[in-house]
Amino acid sequence: MSSRLDPVLARIDADLDQALGRLLDLLRIPSISTDPAHAADCARAADWLAADLAGLGFRAAPRPTPGHPMVVGHGGEGGRHLLFYGHYDVQPVDPLDLWQRPPFAPEVQETPAGRVIRGRGAADDKGQLMTFVEACRAWVAVHGRLPGRITMFLEGEEESGSPSLVRFLEDNRAELTADLALICDTGMFDRETPAITTMLRGLLGEEVTITGPRMDLHSGMYGGAAQNPIRVLARVIAGLHDDAGRITVPGFYDGVEELPAQIRAQWEGLGFDGAAFLGDVGLSVPAGESGRSVLEMIWSRPTCEVNGISGGYAGEGFKTVLPARATAKISFRLVAGQDPLKIRDSFRAMVRAMLPPDCSVTFAGHGASPASVMAVDDPAFERARAALSAEWPRPAAFIGSGGSIPVAGYFKTVLGMDSMLIGFGNDDDLIHSPNEKYDLRSFHKGIRSWARILDALAG
């Protein structure tokens, strides 16, 4: 127990309702970064955060980029300089008809599993980033100052591929290079077991548009004789995996190594229930590479998924059109050893080689970030693990993550800075889906967790 920590934890407990009110205010701002119609909302969320941080004594401001602003704030003093990263932008909300209430009218709801904060961004990532802000607030309220030297760095383009991030890091290298980055955009291992994520997949996004005839045609007049871009696109997609679930892009697995035995053993010890994980979303059979465990499929193996497809007439009823073009959004989750740009080139060459006569293809890249593996031999990792273990029912675990947190890779490659990824999301948070939520318990114990970690690492 720490005499400087205990009053901070007490303050967090006493201030929880107010902290919740502040989070709901932030959740009401529809800061969808991928949709240009919401640019002003992203700016509003950045202003809100900069003002909140200034109120805690940070020298904070929204900082312009070619896209949405970054929020940067500096505060506190101490030997170890910590940088905290979160993102204030959120995913789009469609299909809107599947939301039980408006996505940007958040509220706290009672559920059989406890109270939850319901709304777009509750878990990804506004609720998570506010756990750290609220921990700082409690510390300042109790001690009159931050526990150490802290730089806040909040992004507004994480959900749209972070187009401005690398340039911003390069342009503000000295200001943003700290001793260690703390990133709050990941989840618990399970409801009782906190986690530090030490392996992150990378992400390569490709939008593929195949064009055939010069205009939409009548399928009665031309059907049978004219190329149909939807059929061509379907053949491309169907050809991306072989019968064993392996991805067929040439060179895709170059550099991909098998999981080290000790990590495999640690993961096996976690007691992960693959059947329950799939069963929660209505599935029963792992759909990935033959002979791999579910944890491998989602943490340590690369993937290729189709995130969206469109072409021709998709409205009500039927229209016998032979469309001029068809588009798919395809993404690859990458693991250590894979080079995103090499895979992009290989993928594009493969698609071009599959085109029949009279068809052409255009590509639009959406992000190309490599995978990250953290240096867990830094003693800070064990200290943070102990701090987390003190807050939660079960000891914290080092885990992998299927999702991509590209910023961790860029912190390393651009700033030479290591990252520690700690978050309090749960698998049933419905991030990126309708009815996203964040457990009130995640929010409350998340704030307390950061207070403990700051006590262990800061100053």
Footprint (CB under 8 A) of a copy of itself, residues 264-293 = 274, 277-278, 281-289
Comparing CA positions, the residue from 394, 381, 456 lying closest to residue 422 is: 381
CA distances from 222 to 229, 324, 394 (A): 13, 12, 65
Q: Is 307 in the site for a copy of itself (CB under 8 A)?
A: yes
Pick from 48, 58, 86, 91 the residue near a copy of itself by CB under 8 A. Answer: 91
DSSP 104: T
Minimum gap (Å) between residue 416 Cβ and a copy of itself: 26
Question: Per residue in 30-50, is it b (16+ CB within 10 Å) or e — as a string?
Answer: bbbbebeebeebbbbbbebbb
x-marked contacts with a copy of itself along 344-363 as a string, rule CB under 8 A? ------------xxx-----
Minimum gap (Å) between residue 46 Cβ and a copy of itself: 19
Sequence-ordered list of residues with C-beta below 8 angstroms from that of 155, at least 6 positions apart, any chain: 70, 85, 86, 87, 88, 89, 162, 165, 407
Minimum gap (Å) between residue 110 Cβ and a copy of itself: 21
Pick from 57, 312, 337, 459 the residue near a copy of itself by CB under 8 A. Answer: 312
Minimum gap (Å) between residue 323 Cβ and a copy of itself: 7
Scan residues 387-406 and list those touching a copy of itself (CB under 8 A).
401-404
Scan residues 19-48 and list those touching a copy of itself (CB under 8 A).
34-36
When the beta carbons of 2 and 320 are compared against a copy of itself, the nearer one is 320
When the beta carbons of 28 and 272 are compared against a copy of itself, the nearer one is 272
Minimum gap (Å) between residue 291 Cβ and a copy of itself: 13
Scan residues 123-182 and list those touching a copy of itself (CB under 8 A).
159-161
The CA distance from 351 to 358, in Å, is 14
Minimum gap (Å) between residue 281 Cβ and a copy of itself: 4
Check: CB of residue 444 under 8 Å from CB of residue 135.
no
How many of the chain's residues bind a copy of itself (CB under 8 A)?
Answer: 100
When the beta carbons of 134 and 185 are compared against a copy of itself, the nearer one is 185
Minimum gap (Å) between residue 119 Cβ and a copy of itself: 16
Angle in degrees, 0-180, between the axes of helices 16-27 and 440-457, rounded to the nearest 10: 110
When the beta carbons of 50 and 230 are compared against a copy of itself, the nearer one is 230
x-marked contacts with a copy of itself along 180-219 as a string, rule CB under 8 A? ---------------------x-x-x-x----xxxxxxxx
φ and ψ at 352, to 5 degrees? -60, -40
When the beta carbons of 35 and 378 are compared against a copy of itself, the nearer one is 35
Check: CB of residue 210 under 8 Å from CB of residue 360.
yes
Minimum gap (Å) between residue 168 Cβ and a copy of itself: 19
Both structure tokens of 346: 């290989």
Pick from 151, 164, 193, 327 the residue near a copy of itself by CB under 8 A. Answer: 327
When the beta carbons of 159 and 418 are compared against a copy of itself, the nearer one is 159
- Given its phi and psi angles, is residue 312 left (phi above 0), alpha (psi -120 to 50 degrees) or beta? left
Pick from 61, 108, 141, 234 the residue near a copy of itself by CB under 8 A. Answer: 234
Minimum gap (Å) between residue 203 Cβ and a copy of itself: 7
End-to-end CA separation in angstroms for the chain: 17
The CA distance from 202 to 297, in Å, is 14
Both structure tokens of 247: 């991805």
Sequence-ordered list of residues with C-beta below 8 angstroms from that of 379, at least 6 positions apart, any chain: none
62 sits in which H/E element:
strand 59-63
DSSP 297: I
Rg (CA), the chain: 23
When the beta carbons of 327 and 442 are compared against a copy of itself, the nearer one is 327
168 sits in which H/E element:
helix 165-171
Minimum gap (Å) between residue 413 Cβ and a copy of itself: 20
Minimum gap (Å) between residue 454 Cβ and a copy of itself: 28
**Which of these ranges, 12-20, 78-86, 170-178, 303-311, lies near a copy of itself under the rule CB under 8 A?**
303-311
The CA distance from 459 to 454, in Å, is 8
**Which of these ranges, 99-107, 137-145, 239-247, 338-346, lies near a copy of itself under the rule CB under 8 A?**
239-247
39 sits in which H/E element:
helix 39-55
